[in-house]
Amino acid sequence: MLKSTFVSKQRSAWILISLIITSIISFNVYLAFNTIQNLSSIQVSLANTGNIILRLDDLHLSLISAESNQRGFLLTNDDVFLVPYHKALDKVDIQILELEALESEIATQNQRITNIIELSKAKTVELKEHVRLIKNDKSAVSLLALKASSNSNVYSQLSQLLTEANIEEKMYRAGLLQSLAKSRNEASITFTISGITSAMLVIILLIISWRNNRNEQQYLLLLEQKNQQLTNKVEERTQELNLYAEELSRSNRELEDFAFVASHDLQEPLRKIQAFGDRLESSYADALEARGLDYLKRMRNAASRMSTLITDLLEFSRVGTRGRDFAETDLNTVLNYVLDDLEIAIKESAAKIDISPLPTIQADSSQLQQLFLNLLSNAIKFRRSDKTAHIVIKAQAYNASEAQLALCDNWYQITVSDNGIGFSQEYAEKIFTPFQRLHGRTEYKGTGIGLAVCRRIAERHRGEIAAVSELGQGASFSIILPAEATPFGKFGDENAP
């Protein structure tokens, strides 16, 4: 009880601690994950907006370079300006492709970038067309036309859009930088909180561990005290049991001696009564009247019954004290001995006996022989006059209870059934009580001790016996026996008289 209470409290405490630690760790992980995710998102956004600003600036510079070199060529008609001019246009084409692959996180910016790309393409077409015209027509009129056309507002629109887009992206980037700084501060706070909570957890765990060790030491000390008290009680109880066993053994030996002496002393007068009765009948039968002869016969019958009763009672008392050690016993062999003993009774009654294969168990073969002898004798004795006695003996594995399985793993049920006169089921328990008879002595012979001996033999083998019957429909006796068991109820000296 003490141990279960301590273990229950300790388990509840650890469950609560585990829940708290898990909650704190989960909260810290959640904060750290959100912080890292937020920082990563801002870093990606900064990289994207910075890339857009860089691409817009590069595109603007490339267009300016292309237009400057084009103007130099138009004004001087010198091909030396065409080399940087073409390089600038090649860069513009590449930068337009790179800009098309980017997507701004600002909703209005994407349309502006699309317009910038379209105007940039238009501007490159315009620049290429001017160069083509000047190469094909170098007259002054053509030159003036080209100068007039160069005043096109494409570049002014493009420049305005580039400026607006650049300002928009830089403002967005400034906001991202502020968010990044804020997130870094939050991250510092988060990791500080995590560090503090982790340190607190370590401290709490150390305190709990110290308290658990202290409680465990107290519990072990208390348990040791309880164990010592229990050991003292066990020793006292063991001494009492030893004294009781010695007293019981001595008492049992005295009872055994008393039973033997009582049997001998009681049998001696009975033998004299029977002897003098025989002499009286043989010597003075003619001198006695019919009534005297009847009295003499009754006296001799009573003496004979008394002698049989004393013998049976002594045999009943010795079931637990004079039994043999258990050994491997084949019940088929036991039944064969019983059938040999009952050979004459079986022939006289014309009884039919069917025996199925029986198991081999650890038992006292002589006592089991006596058990089956009593059961078969009763089945033959209490047969019906209008039917041939039919006795069936069979065995099967028995589904033992938990208490029985603690004693032995394998159990058998041996059933002895007959088609005799049977008895009312209300007497099923009474018939195993010594001296209990369901019929008069004039109807069936016996002392009423046989089934009581059967029960004591079954109980000594750690088994049990029961009967099921119906008046006029025969009886069925079930003997439940373990395959292996030690003798039960064996006291005193095996070699007692």
Contact yes or no for 372/334 (Cβ under 8 A): yes
Query: What average pLDDT does this structure show over 224-234?
Result: 86
Q: Is 423 among the domain residues?
A: yes
Q: What is the CATH number of the domain that holds 420?
A: 3.30.565.10
Residue 332 pLDDT grade (very low, low, confident, very high; cuts 50, 70, 90): very high
Query: Does residue 155 share a domain with residue 12?
Result: yes
Query: Does residue 205 share a domain with residue 345?
Result: no
Q: Is 69 among the domain residues?
A: yes
Q: Is 332 among the domain residues?
A: yes
Q: Is 295 among the domain residues?
A: no
- Percentage, residues of the chain above pLDDT 70: 79
Query: Does residue 206 share a domain with residue 335?
Result: no
Query: Does residue 206 share a domain with residue 338?
Result: no
394 phi/psi in degrees, rounded to 5: -145, 160
Q: Is 298 among the domain residues?
A: no
Domain boundary among 213, 241, 275: 213
Helical (H) or strand (E) element with 309: helix 290-317
The tokens for 416 are: 């002895």
Q: Does residue 441 or residue 248 have the better pLDDT?
A: 248
The tokens for 173 are: 């980037």
- Is 50 exceeded by the pLDDT of residue 151? no
User: Which pLDDT belongs to residue 323?
Assistant: 59
Query: Does residue 464 share a domain with residue 333?
Result: yes
Residue 264 pLDDT grade (very low, low, confident, very high; cuts 50, 70, 90): low
Q: Tell me the β-bridge partners of 466.
A: 478
Q: Is 495 among the domain residues?
A: no
- Is 70 exceeded by the pLDDT of residue 443? no
Query: Does residue 329 share a domain with residue 206?
Result: no
Residue 6: other Cβ atoms inside 10 A: 17
User: Which pLDDT belongs to residue 272?
Assistant: 72
Domain count, the chain: 2
Instruction: Provide the CB-side half-sphere exposure for 139 (13 A, CA).
Output: 4
Domain boundary among 213, 244, 271: 213
Distance CA(369)–CA(289), nearest Å, equals 46
Query: Does residue 162 share a domain with residue 22?
Result: yes
Distance CA(164)–CA(156), nearest Å, equals 12
User: Which pLDDT belongs to residue 253?
Assistant: 66
Residue span of the structural domain in which 130 resides: 2-213
CA distances in angstroms from 187 to 22, 177, 292, listed in the order given: 21, 15, 127
**Is the full-model pTM beyond 0.85?**
no
Distance CA(350)–CA(461), nearest Å, equals 33
Q: Is 269 among the domain residues?
A: no
- Is 70 exceeded by the pLDDT of residue 340? yes
Distance CA(381)–CA(256), nearest Å, equals 31
Query: What average pLDDT does this structure show over 101-116?
Result: 81
Helical (H) or strand (E) element with 128: helix 109-136
pLDDT-wise least confident of 58-72, 259-273, 282-296: 259-273
Query: What average pLDDT does this structure show over 110-125?
Result: 82
Distance CA(379)–CA(292), nearest Å, equals 37
Query: What average pLDDT does this structure show over 413-438?
Result: 81
Distance CA(346)–CA(415), nearest Å, equals 19
Residue 144 pLDDT grade (very low, low, confident, very high; cuts 50, 70, 90): very low
- Is 90 exceeded by the pLDDT of residue 357? yes
Q: Which of 98, 45, 89 minimizes the C-alpha distance to 67?
A: 89
Query: What average pLDDT does this structure show over 121-149?
Result: 66
Phi-psi region of 137 (alpha: psi -120 to 50; beta: other; left: phi over 0): beta
Q: Is 247 among the domain residues?
A: no
User: Which pLDDT belongs to residue 411?
Assistant: 92
Query: What average pLDDT does this structure show over 154-172?
Result: 80
Query: What average pLDDT does this structure show over 195-204?
Result: 78
- Is 70 exceeded by the pLDDT of residue 193? yes
First-to-last C-alpha distance (Å) of the chain: 50
Residue written as tokens 């898990």? 22
pLDDT-wise least confident of 11-20, 176-185, 403-412, 442-451: 442-451
Query: Does residue 166 share a domain with residue 22?
Result: yes
Domain boundary among 213, 246, 265: 213
